[in-house]
Amino acid sequence: MDQKCALVTGAARGIGLATTDLFLEMGWRVAMIDRDGEELTKVAAERDNVQAIIRDVSNPQEVDAMVRDTLAFAGRIDALVNNAGVAEFGPVKDCTFDMWRRVMETNLDGVFLCTQACTDALKETQGAILNIASISGLRASTLRVAYGTSKAAVIQLTKQHAAELGEYNIRVNCVAPGPVKTKLSMAVHSPEIIAAYHDAIPLNRYGSERELAEVICFLCSEKASYVTGQIVAVDGGFDSTGVGLPALRD
Ligand SMILES: NC(=O)c1ccc[n+]([C@@H]2O[C@H](COP(=O)([O-])OP(=O)(O)OC[C@H]3O[C@@H](n4cnc5c(N)ncnc54)[C@H](O)[C@@H]3O)[C@@H](O)[C@H]2O)c1
């Protein structure tokens, strides 16, 4: 039981899967959590040192079971990566309460529930929590009334938890990704949106899942032992620049 263990939610694909792979390269074990049982079972079977745990992070009973399953697998939790997320975009007038709740229950309730459920285990290891927000939580933009608000709340939740869990030496940080070509973003990014992002991002491109994983795993590692309560935008420079003005480019 000396081997460290990361619990990664939304691990069946995208950023969560890339993060799983980097933890494995670092020699950690990974409890891979996802509600998409078919995809999770398939990708977990292709990897050693992982346990597929099919659970929904928005359901309190399932979250408790997820922690029990993880402790049965690895005996410890050294890092919790709250990555599971859903995106539904639309104008404010079309955002029904059902849509609002669907986004909030995974993106916000899920982070709260998983953090609450993992805290005792993280106290034992003096471990780390890493929440995934979004540039949509740092800056308001059209069509994201539910998604952007859920991610802004995750940023605040990160600071709340960092403030209270510091005394147990649990560090809590947040990564705010810019656009990454995953199933989630491709469902809501039209070709026009992709082109507009390229214009607005100083590095002129989308990020890769691996580029996100590198920062996530760093913040979970001993190398970041004095870093807590921080929001790190991994976004090609999008957040630090003002309104994109393609006309001002060379
Ligand atoms: N891709 C981007 O451009 C982008 C940008 C900013 C932020 N993010 C955030 O990064 C995170 C990962 O996104 P991604 O692009 O890799 O998405 P993805 O859709 O490729 O993967 C998300 C995974 O989470 C799982 N999931 C969703 N709801 C769940 C729930 N309630 N319980 C358990 N599992 C659940 C899905 O089944 C899926 O496997 C999300 O929080 C997302 O909001 C992504």
Q: Is the pLDDT of residue 244 over 60?
A: no
User: Cα 201–239–17 angle (5° rounding)?
Assistant: 80
Q: Which of 237, 162, 168 is nearest to 204 (CA)?
A: 237
CA–CA dist 55, 53 (Å, integer): 6
Pocket perturbation via mutation, ligand 1, pick of 56, 182, 189, 209 by most ligand atoms within 8 A of CB: 182
Q: Is the pLDDT of residue 216 over 90?
A: yes
Q: Is the pLDDT of residue 113 over 90?
A: yes
Read off the pLDDT of each residue in 145-154 and give the average, rounded to a whole number: 98
Q: 184: how many CB neighbours lie within 10 A of its CB?
A: 16
Q: Cβ(24) to ligand 1 under 6 A?
A: no
pLDDT for the residue numbered 214: 98
Give me the amino acid identity at 113: L
Read off the pLDDT of each residue in 213-232 and give the average, rounded to a whole number: 98
Q: Cβ(183) to ligand 1 under 6 A?
A: yes
Read off the pLDDT of each residue in 28-45 and give the average, rounded to a whole number: 98
Q: Is the pLDDT of residue 243 over 90?
A: no
pLDDT for the residue numbered 199: 87
Q: Cβ(13) to ligand 1 under 6 A?
A: yes
Least-confidence region, from 44-53, 104-113, 239-248: 239-248
CB distance 19 to 83 below 8 Å: yes
Read off the pLDDT of each residue in 217-239 and give the average, rounded to a whole number: 97
What are the strands, taking DSSP E only, across 49-110? 50-54, 79-82
- The 3-state DSSP class for residue 228 equals coil
Q: Is the pLDDT of residue 250 over 80?
A: no
pLDDT for the residue numbered 2: 87
Q: 250: how many CB neighbours lie within 10 A of its CB?
A: 2
Pocket perturbation via mutation, ligand 1, pick of 36, 80, 184 by most ligand atoms within 8 A of CB: 184
Q: Cβ(215) to ligand 1 under 6 A?
A: no
Query: Would residue 182 be called left, alpha or beta, if left means φ above 0 and alpha means ψ between -120 and 50 degrees?
Result: beta
Torsion of CA 51, 115, 125, 233, to 10 degrees: 90
User: 250 CA distance to ligand 1 centroid (A)?
Assistant: 36
Q: What is the pLDDT of residues 62-83, one digit of tens each?
A: 999 999 999 999 999 999 999 9
CA–CA dist 69, 82 (Å, integer): 17
User: 20 CA distance to ligand 1 centroid (A)?
Assistant: 14
Q: Cβ(106) to ligand 1 under 6 A?
A: yes
pLDDT for the residue numbered 35: 98
Give me the amino acid identity at 239: D
Q: Is the pLDDT of residue 112 over 70?
A: yes
pLDDT for the residue numbered 184: 87
Give, using CA atoms, the residue closest to atom 32 of ligand 1.
56
Q: Cβ(103) to ligand 1 under 6 A?
A: no
Q: Cβ(185) to ligand 1 under 6 A?
A: yes
pLDDT for the residue numbered 188: 85
User: 107 CA distance to ligand 1 centroid (A)?
Assistant: 9
User: 9 CA distance to ligand 1 centroid (A)?
Assistant: 9
Q: What is the pLDDT of residues 155-169, one digit of tens each?
A: 999 999 999 999 999
Per-chain mean pLDDT for the chain: 96
Q: Is the pLDDT of residue 224 over 70?
A: yes
Give, using CA atoms, the residue closest to atom 41 of ligand 1.
85
Give, using CA atoms, the residue closest to atom 38 of ligand 1.
10
Binned at pLDDT 50, 70 and 90, residue 248 comes out as: low
Report residue 213 as tokens: 């994983």
The structural domains of the chain, ordered by start, are 5-236 (3.40.50.720)
Residues noted as catalytic: 147
pLDDT for the residue numbered 245: 65
